[in-house]
Amino acid sequence: MPAKIHYEDNLFFLHSILRTVESGLRLDIDPGLFRDKILEDVLFVDVMILRLYASLRENDYLIRRTAYLRSLRRTTSSYLTFLDGLLGNPSLLESTLGRFQEKLESARQEHESVRREIDALLDRIEPDEETQSIVSSEEYGFLLARESQTEGEPEEDPEDEPEER
């Protein structure tokens, strides 16, 4: 039996981890003490984004799937920005995560591909949702006619009704 996945909370937590690690890397911390934890968090976010994407990709009929895909796209974009900052800072990369540079570069490429796939999925999904929510002119006419009929009629007050004996 599949477990229920709480996409919103999971994505929020991943985004929070990214912000925390990013803030930590701005500090003058000792790389020897924190290297493993930073790397563990970065790789954890990497794996979890891929898992959540695989789950969303497979579940076509998931309620709020589009909203979750949008949140996943934002989290993936944040992760890519984080990786760009990490890979673009040679002194930080060298002192903290130097031997993992190749892994981070391949993760960056993989997540860029995932973001493009999410965009393509959203492009296919969102036009369908827009057409479902469009109200036709006939429906508007019907709704407005009903509204004008009810506006012309006085509201019945339950206190004005004669009592039955």
What would the pLDDT profile of 26-83 be if each residue is shown by its tens digit?
888 887 888 889 889 999 999 999 999 999 888 888 888 899 999 999 999 999 999 9
- Please state the pTM of the whole predicted model: 0.71
If one compares 163 and 69, the residue with the highest pLDDT of the two is 69
Looking at the domain assignment, is residue 156 inside a domain? no
Looking at the domain assignment, is residue 165 inside a domain? no
Domain that includes residue 46, residue range: 7-150
Q: Work out how many domains the chain is built from and give that number.
A: 1
Residue 42: both structure tokens together:
């970065």
Instruction: Reply yes or no on whether the pLDDT at 138 is more than 90.
Output: no
Q: What is the dihedral of CA 77, 78, 82, 83, to 10 degrees?
A: -30
If one compares 129 and 42, the residue with the highest pLDDT of the two is 42
Q: Which helix (H) or strand (E) holds 134?
A: none
Supply the mean pLDDT for the chain.
81
34: which residues sit within 8 A by CB, 6+ positions away? Answer: 24, 96
- Inter-residue contact 7 to 49 (CB < 8 Å): no
Rounded CA separation 5/164 (Å) = 57
